Amino acid sequence: MTPVLFLVVALAGGLGAVARFMLDGAIRSRVGTRMPWGTLTINLSGSFALGLIVGLVGAGAFGGEWQWALGTGFLGGYTTFSTASFETVRLLQERRLGAGLVNALAQLVAATALAGLGLWLGGLA
C-alpha cells in the first residue's frame, strides 16, 4: 500500500462515517428511534454497494485503487456491524423480542441477499 492510497482510504473512511451519521440522523428525525431504521438502511445499502463494487471488479469493469477507496474506505466507514449488534441487544433488553428478532434477521439475511444481488449485477458489466 502506497502512502497516497493509505491517505485516500483514510479520507474515504471518514467521509463514509460522516455519510452514515448524516443519513442516520435524517432517518431518525423522520421516523423516530423506536426501531433502528437508520442503521438498517445504512447496512443494507452498504452491503448492496459493496457487492456491486466486488462484482464490477470481478467483471473487469472497475478496479485499481478506487476499489479500495470505495470498498474498504468509504463503505467501511459507512456501514456498522457494531451498532447493529448493539441496537439488537438494546431491543432485546427492552423486552421487544419481536423487534429484536426482526432487526437481527434483517441485518443478516437481507444484507447478505443484497450483497449477493449487487455482486450478480456488478458481474453483468
Binding residues for Na(+), by number, are 76, 79
3-state SS record for the chain: CCHHHHHHHHHHHHHHHHHHHHHHHHHHHHHCCCCCHHHHHHHHHHHHHHHHHHHHHHCCCCCCHHHHHHHHHHHHHHCCHHHHHHHHHHHHHCCCHHHHHHHHHHHHHHHHHHHHHHHHHHHCC
* Pairwise CA distance, residues 67 & 103, whole Å: 29
Binding residues: 76, 79
